[in-house]
A and B are shown apart, each in its own frame.
Chain A
């Protein structure tokens, strides 16, 4: 039982971690807590659903399940399309809203508030477009594979774990070993100095949005594949995402993933031992504990 709970927590935790990486990047580079990030997760899931259903309708063989998985090739293609589309959505919001406020040198907290308004608009617009009825990528039932005594996981779940691990590693390498990663870190340290040193700040900000949104889309598709797709899915994840990002230390990609895993595992244990109805409180308790004991997070530097 406990082993199974840990497995579920691990899977939920990687989803939270992927979302939290997007939050931590925008937070450290654009310097504000983006409340609209959860909506990118929901929009990403629906964009993938739209593309993948359209593909499956146009060419039925794309819908036949690949090997042991519950979905056909339409979903991976839909995911790639959704990463691009969600990135474009993030850029659009930046051009319409955040960019204008930045250009006006608005206070950080005005940006936070704008994100809060944007979140409300995006979420309700999505609800208007697709209604609040849950949707699914596939109706195929999957048999869980027995991994060890008392421990089962579906092939989809194992694939999600592997994809998350690869993505975290890729983002980490991107930040630490490439020119664009260096530019991001420079902008995060000091925007003026970075600009003086020849870093194209606006270009860097655009790439941060694209990257954060693409990761959000992946998290959304995973959540949709493993649980279900709802317009409120991103909003419900927001508190765990922030808890994970702050626990890991703002700006730290491995920290965000580790934070996500801790939040996911704690939630699973709470569901096991306290009761499923208290799940949503876990992230808050973790958040309070971090703010009390180590406000800079596990890998963060003191402000």
Chain B
């Protein structure tokens, strides 16, 4: 029973860190229509920034600075936000798919830097001893697991409520107006570029936060955590859950992660060891097919976008 609860807590905690990433992607894609194919890069830079700030001093690399975890989280958001700002400034004015190509490159380069800038990132061995919240309770697995789940759940809820508030604010409505009809929004005097850039930076910062939260939960990071596969998973989560809908982003994250974890468990239980790499490839085919099939069959996802986000419209039309 205790095993089950602590596994459940572990599963949900990891799923919710994906949910935070997915919420960040939803600001960029769901709300604004900006296609980011480098999610792994933004999550990775957040994880590394936070690890650098909070780990105890390590003679073989720069830092760590031993700062409190919360400083690490803020630093992660700042680092990923800054990266998003630079990428956004470079590409958002250009053709829509240049952003996709540039973010794809960002992910490649972030991974390359994590691998090769050993004095900063520890190289292929990664960074260990990342302080974990309630680390002194790690012996008592159940309490530790539940407390960590609590922290991640509260963070997810905070991000969710903040984004819901933004979505329903005038700012969120302008974003949607720009996405649906840029000419009309421009005619109303809205600076489409500035709004898109803001959305891209906010989304990127949230992805950085997700990276930091996950790094502090696991306690260890390495370059291979931030491979393109992560990007694909997060995209599948958002598309399955319903892009444009924050609840859909969270639901999709938990659902897809459940299917992923279950199929991984199934493979390791059923498939003989020598065939496991091949079976894992099939698992990835499943994610790719899920993306394509959802786009074809149900592009709005399980929970579609909420059509009306302004409460004024509802009041005016007498509904509610």
Residues of chain A having any CB pair with chain B under 8 Å: 32-33, 35, 97, 100-101, 106-110, 112-114, 116-125, 127-128, 131-132, 235, 238-239, 242-243, 246, 277-278, 280-281, 283-284, 287-288, 291-292, 295, 303
Q: Residues of B contacting A278 with CB < 8 Å?
A: 112, 116
| A110 B299 Cβ-Cβ under 8 A | yes
| B109 A284 Cβ-Cβ under 8 A | yes
- The yes or no answer to B98 lying at the interface (CB within 8 A) is yes
Given contacts A120-B232, A128-B278, A291-B90, is CB(A101)–CB(B295) below 8 Å? yes
Question: In the complex, A29 Cα to B202 Cα: how many Å?
Answer: 34
User: Can you identify 22 A-B contacts, CB atoms within 8 angstroms?
Assistant: A33-B100, A35-B104, A108-B96, A109-B97, A110-B299, A112-B35, A112-B100, A113-B235, A116-B37, A116-B100, A116-B235, A116-B291, A117-B290, A123-B288, A124-B283, A246-B98, A278-B112, A284-B105, A284-B109, A288-B102, A288-B105, A295-B94
* Proximity bits, B101-120, A CB within 8 Å = 1, else 0: 11011101100100110000
Which residue of chain A has its CB nearest to the CB of B105? Answer: A284
- The yes or no answer to B306 lying at the interface (CB within 8 A) is no
Question: In the complex, A114 Cα to B35 Cα: how many Å?
Answer: 12
* Proximity bits, B205-249, A CB within 8 Å = 1, else 0: 000000000000000000000001000100100010000000000
Most A Cβ at <10 Å: residue of B101, B102, B109: B101
Given contacts A113-B35, A238-B104, A242-B101, is CB(A131)–CB(B288) below 8 Å? no
Query: How far in angstroms is the closest Cβ of chain B from A230?
Result: 13
Which residue of chain A has its CB nearest to the CB of B283? Answer: A124
Residues of chain B having any CB pair with chain A under 8 Å: 33, 35, 37, 90-91, 94-98, 100-102, 104-106, 108-109, 112, 115-116, 228, 232, 235, 239, 277-278, 281-285, 287-292, 295-296, 299
Question: In the complex, A116 Cα to B287 Cα: how many Å?
Answer: 11
Given contacts A35-B37, A124-B285, A246-B101, is CB(A277)–CB(B292) below 8 Å? no
Query: How far in angstroms is the closest Cβ of chain A from B279?
Result: 8
Question: In the complex, A119 Cα to B282 Cα: how many Å?
Answer: 14
Given contacts A131-B277, A291-B91, is CB(A283)–CB(B285) below 8 Å? no
Question: In the complex, A239 Cα to B95 Cα: how many Å?
Answer: 17
Q: Residues of A contacting B235 with CB < 8 Å?
A: 113, 116-117
| A124 B284 Cβ-Cβ under 8 A | yes
Which residue of chain A has its CB nearest to the CB of B232? Answer: A120
Given contacts A109-B35, A121-B288, A284-B109, is CB(A97)–CB(B98) below 8 Å? no
Question: In the complex, A242 Cα to B38 Cα: how many Å?
Answer: 15
Question: In the complex, A283 Cα to B102 Cα: how many Å?
Answer: 10
Q: Residues of A contacting B37 with CB < 8 Å?
A: 35, 116
| A113 B287 Cβ-Cβ under 8 A | no
Query: How far in angstroms is the closest Cβ of chain A from B43?
Result: 17
Q: Residues of B contacting A114 with CB < 8 Å?
A: 291-292, 295
Given contacts A246-B101, A291-B91, is CB(A124)–CB(B281) below 8 Å? yes
Which residue of chain A has its CB nearest to the CB of B229? Answer: A120
| A124 B101 Cβ-Cβ under 8 A | no
Q: Residues of B contacting A101 with CB < 8 Å?
A: 295-296
| A277 B116 Cβ-Cβ under 8 A | yes
Query: How far in angstroms is the closest Cβ of chain B from A104?
Result: 9
Q: Residues of B contacting A128 with CB < 8 Å?
A: 278, 281-282, 285
Question: In the complex, A106 Cα to B90 Cα: how many Å?
Answer: 26
Question: In the complex, A114 Cα to B296 Cα: how many Å?
Answer: 9
State which of A113, A124, A127 has its C-beta within 8 Å of the C-beta of B295: A113
Query: How far in angstroms is the closest Cβ of chain A from B15?
Result: 21
Query: How far in angstroms is the closest Cβ of chain A from B234?
Result: 12
Question: In the complex, A303 Cα to B97 Cα: how many Å?
Answer: 13
Query: How far in angstroms is the closest Cβ of chain B from A270?
Result: 12
| A291 B292 Cβ-Cβ under 8 A | no
| A277 B115 Cβ-Cβ under 8 A | yes
Query: How far in angstroms is the closest Cβ of chain A from B32?
Result: 11
Most A Cβ at <10 Å: residue of B94, B100, B235, B290: B100
Which 7 A-B residue pairs are closest in the complex by CB-CB distance?
Answer: A117-B291, A121-B288, A120-B288, A124-B284, A284-B105, A33-B97, A128-B281
Q: Residues of B contacting A132 with CB < 8 Å?
A: 277, 281
Q: Residues of A contacting B90 with CB < 8 Å?
A: 288, 291-292
Q: Residues of A contacting B290 with CB < 8 Å?
A: 117
